[in-house]
Structure 1
Amino acid sequence: MNIKEQIQKIDSLEFELFQQKLELVIEKAYLKGVQDGQTKYNYPPVLTKKDLTEIFQASSSTIDRTVARKDFPKLTTLAGKYPRDEVFEWIKNNSI
């Protein structure tokens, strides 16, 4: 096998490796989307304290303390209602 053929073989192997890596990334993104669909988007766009109790798996007193925080997302026009997407973003930003 001459050098040109060896280079073509290496290029071919590199392309195959790239394809395999790309497929893994796509699969991981798909599985993350499915997981989000089963958890995050399973809830309505506007959450209640009951929803928060399920999401946080915490007692109602813990939820009361959490929603009392100034930085916790709330709907100002509806008492006791919380925007789902902002709540999940808050969890993401406030998790260790």
Structure 2
Amino acid sequence: MTIQQHTQNIKNLEFELLEQKMALIAERAYLQGVQDGQTKYNYEPVLTKEDLQKIFQASSSTINRLVLRKDFPKLTTMSGKYPRDEVFAWISRNSTDFGSNLLKFKRA
């Protein structure tokens, strides 16, 4: 086999590896989208304290303390209402282990 043939074989293998990596990335993105659809986007765009209790799996007194934090997102025009996407973004920003059921928050 010539050097040119070896070089072409290496290029072909690199291309196949790239295709496999791209397929894996697409699969992971799809699975993340499905997971987001089943969790995050299963809720209305505006959350209630009851929704927060389900999301955080916490008691009403814990949720009451949480929503009093200055950095926790809330709608200023409606009492007791919270913007879904901002709440999930807040969780992501304040979580050291996002993706599991155990959320650890930084102190505000």
Which of the five TM-score ranges fits, normalised by the shorter chain? over 0.9
- AA partner of residue 58 (structure 1): A
The within-5 A match list for 1:21-36 is 21-36=21-36
Query: Separation in 2 of the partners of 1:21 and 1:77?
Result: 47
Which residue of structure 1 aligns with residue 103 of structure 2? none
What is the TM-score when the length of structure 1 is the normalising length? 0.99
Tell me the secondary structure at the aligned position of residue 80 of structure 2: coil
Which residue of structure 2 aligns with residue 19 of structure 1? 19
Task: Give 1:90 shift.
Answer: 0.4
What number of residue pairs does the alignment pair up? 96
Which residue of structure 1 aligns with residue 100 of structure 2? none
What is the TM-score when the length of structure 2 is the normalising length? 0.88
Task: Give 1:23 shift.
Answer: 0.4
Unaligned runs of 5+ in 2: 97-108
Query: Separation in 2 of the partners of 1:82 and 1:89?
Result: 12
Higher relative contact order (CA 8 A, sep 6+): 1
Q: Which has the higher helix share?
A: 1
Aligned-residue sequence identity (percent) comes to: 70
Unaligned runs of 5+ in 1: none
Root-mean-square deviation (CA), in Å? Answer: 0.4
Which residue of structure 2 aligns with residue 45 of structure 1? 45
